[in-house]
């Protein structure tokens, strides 16, 4: 079920239990808030709503990071978000746990705001006394880097070389740019680089530049002083929080151009000026940035200011997509099998040769992250006592490599072209049949050929009995 279906179903079942409605404009400012929870006194409901009005969402709920706020996610993606058990602390330190349905307000094709319908389930958790719930402090923002170089599992020369480069540049002041498709491990690399450097005892602050509207991202990075804008409080910016440590600017190419100019100034002057303040604050921050586009693409597409790019990419680490380093797959599979078996508290199974061969031929649009999810999913459907994962346990949606790959890495260069093509065709047919669990009609659809043609070819290559 996708978020939309889940949300609509939730609405049908919970309409009569909705405790509050919050509406924000496209900058995240609360423009309407109404609580009608009968468990609170009428006056309490009214005061709470009134105090929040006109303030930025993150001011009212300081425990919430911009990435965690479902309303802000809706503002940046335009998609419905449904989340259960979201715990937030308001500016008076009071915790509530809610099930939330968030959807965008769209006018003439533009996102003008977002609405959140909440069901307050705080006191339904019988384990926690209401008093304890209300007094517990907000959780601090996570500013530690989780991974080290040892967590980067790699076997191919390019990847081992990248690990060496990390070691070499770890203690320099140079900015590092990490390029790679989604899920190739950019944040893992950034975290390992931070932990390999003398900055490892200090903060590692990661910010996703694509997830937030411009003004929120600006306030978040630079901080603000009371009165800088409606509802602004004294708030330390993330650049300042990363002082002495590392600031990881994820998806830097999605940062609005205006803000890029301000980041450039921070890099040049090593100072940050909070919004509404006239006093610059000195900071010592190492910037690691990431992009899912290559350097050439970045220069050509105009998303990133060239002067900022030259500041950011003193060292560039380009992580190849997984399909270009299939030699890493057996090691990664093994690593994820152990990791997830341990988490599930079960024995660690093995993969059959067929299954491993199949995984090595997949396209992996989502790269290592997709491979990890595939292994995790296979482990979940494997019986407690089963010791092997075979093709049947692998999801049917995995796709096989694009045909051009074979021309970059010839399968069997020493045979004739006709023979090489026949071998490649046989390999594609075998994989299509495997992911379709032997159903010829499905396999034919995947290969985009008539069923009868597939039948003929399968017989020709003796892949099925005549």
Ligand X SMILES: Nc1ncnc2c1ncn2[C@@H]1O[C@H](COP(=O)(O)OP(=O)(O)OP(=O)(O)O)[C@@H](O)[C@H]1O
Name the residues that contact Mg ion, by CB under 5 A. 187
Which three-class secondary structure state does DSSP give residue 349? coil
Cα separation, 157 vs 80, in Å, equals 43
Candidate ranges 10-18, 118-126, 186-194, 415-423; the one touching ligand X (CB under 6 A): 186-194
CB of 290 to Mg ion, least distance (A): 6
Q: What is the DSSP pairing of strand 204-208 with strand 246-250?
A: parallel
Q: Please, is 211 exposed, middle or buried when counting C-beta atoms within 10 Å of its C-beta (0-12, 13-18, 19+)?
A: buried
CB of 180 to ligand X, least distance (A): 5
Closest CB to ligand X among residues 166, 428: 166
432 binds ligand X (CB under 6 A): no
188 binds ligand X (CB under 6 A): yes
CB of 182 to Mg ion, least distance (A): 8
> Which one of ligand X, Mg ion, none interacts with residue 241, CB within 5 to 8 A by kind?
none
156 binds ligand X (CB under 6 A): no
Closest CB to Mg ion among residues 187, 328: 187
Closest CB to Mg ion among residues 80, 193: 193
Site residues (CB under 6 A) for ligand X, limited to 262-301? 292
| DSSP letter (8 states) at residue 20 | E
Candidate ranges 181-189, 381-389, 399-407, 439-447; the one touching ligand X (CB under 6 A): 181-189
Closest CB to Mg ion among residues 37, 253: 253
- As a residue count, the chain comes to 466
> Which one of Mg ion, ligand X, none interacts with residue 152, CB within 5 to 8 A by kind?
ligand X
Closest CB to ligand X among residues 78, 366: 366
Q: Return phi, psi of residue 182, to 5°.
A: -60, 140
Site residues (CB under 6 A) for ligand X, limited to 326-385? 368-369, 372
Instruction: Spell out the alpha helix ranges (H) of 351-439.
Output: 353-360, 367-381, 404-408, 417-435
Contacts with ligand X: how many residues (CB under 6 A)? 16
Handedness of CA 450, 452, 454, 456 (dihedral sign): negative
Closest C-alpha among 145, 148, 160, 147 to residue 331:
160
Out of 7, 180, 223, 361, point to the residue binding ligand X (CB under 6 A): 180
Cα separation, 98 vs 18, in Å, equals 10
Give the other-Cβ count within 10 Å of 320's Cβ.
16
Closest CB to ligand X among residues 117, 252: 252
Give 462's contacts (C-beta < 8 A, 6+ positions apart): none
CB of 109 to ligand X, least distance (A): 27
Handedness of CA 384, 387, 393, 398 (dihedral sign): positive
Instruction: Spell out the alpha helix ranges (H) of 80-185.
Output: 130-135, 157-169
Candidate ranges 185-193, 257-265, 375-383, 389-397; the one touching ligand X (CB under 6 A): 185-193
Q: Please, is 441 exposed, middle or buried when counting C-beta atoms within 10 Å of its C-beta (0-12, 13-18, 19+)?
A: exposed
Q: Name the closest residue to ligand X (Cβ).
A: 185
Residues lying near ligand X in the complex (CB under 6 A): 151-154, 180, 182-188, 292, 368-369, 372
């Amino acid at each position: 079920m996708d978020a939309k279906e889940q949300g609509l179903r939730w609405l049908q079942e919970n309409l009569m239990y909705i405790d509050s409605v919050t509406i924000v404009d496209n900058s995240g400012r609360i423009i309407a808030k109404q609580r009608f929870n009968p468990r609170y006194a009428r006056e309490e409901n009214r005061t709470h709503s009134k105090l929040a009005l006109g303030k930025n969402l993150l001011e009212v709920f300081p425990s919430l990071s911009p990435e965690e706020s479902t309303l802000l996610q809706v503002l940046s993606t335009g998609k419905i978000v449904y989340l259960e058990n979201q715990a937030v602390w308001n500016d008076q330190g009071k915790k509530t746990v809610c099930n939330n349905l968030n959807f965008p307000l769209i006018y003439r094709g533009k996102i003008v705001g977002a609405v959140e319908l909440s069901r307050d389930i705080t006191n339904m958790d019988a384990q926690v006394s209401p008093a304890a719930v209300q007094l517990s402090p907000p959780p601090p923002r996570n500013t530690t880097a989780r991974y080290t170089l040892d967590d980067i599992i790699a076997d191919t020369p390019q990847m081992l070389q990248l690990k060496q480069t990390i070691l070499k540049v770890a203690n320099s002041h140079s900015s590092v740019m990490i390029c790679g498709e989604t899920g190739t491990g950019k944040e893992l690399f950034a975290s390992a680089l931070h932990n390999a450097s003398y900055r490892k005892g200090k903060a590692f602050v990661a910010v996703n530049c694509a997830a937030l509207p411009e003004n929120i991202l600006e306030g978040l990075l630079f901080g603000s002083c009371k009165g800088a804008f409606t509802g602004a409080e004294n708030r330390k910016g993330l650049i300042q929080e990363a002082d002495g440590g590392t600031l990881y600017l994820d998806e830097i190419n999605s940062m609005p151009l205006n803000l890029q100019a301000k980041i450039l100034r921070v890099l040049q002057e090593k100072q940050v000026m909070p919004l509404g303040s006239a006093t610059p604050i000195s900071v010592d921050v190492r910037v690691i940035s990431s992009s899912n586009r290559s350097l050439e693409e970045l220069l050509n597409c105009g998303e990133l200011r060239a002067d900022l790019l030259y500041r950011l990419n003193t060292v560039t680490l380009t992580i190849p997509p997984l399909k270009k380093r299939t030699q890493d797959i057996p090691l990664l599979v093994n690593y994820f099998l152990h990791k997830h078996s341990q988490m599930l508290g079960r024995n660690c199974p093995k993969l059959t040769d067929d299954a491993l061969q199949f995984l090595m031929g997949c396209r992996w649009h989502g790269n290592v992250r997709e491979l990890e999810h595939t292994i995790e999913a296979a482990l979940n459907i494997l019986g407690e006592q089963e010791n092997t994962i075979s093709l049947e346990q692998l999801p049917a949606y995995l796709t096989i490599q694009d045909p051009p790959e074979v021309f970059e890495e010839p399968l069997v260069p020493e045979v004739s072209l006709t023979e090489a093509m026949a071998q490649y065709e046989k390999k594609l047919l075998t994989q299509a049949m495997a992911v379709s669990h032997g159903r010829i009609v499905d396999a034919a659809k995947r290969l985009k050929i008539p069923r009868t043609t597939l039948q003929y070819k399968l017989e020709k290559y003796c892949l099925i009995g005549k």
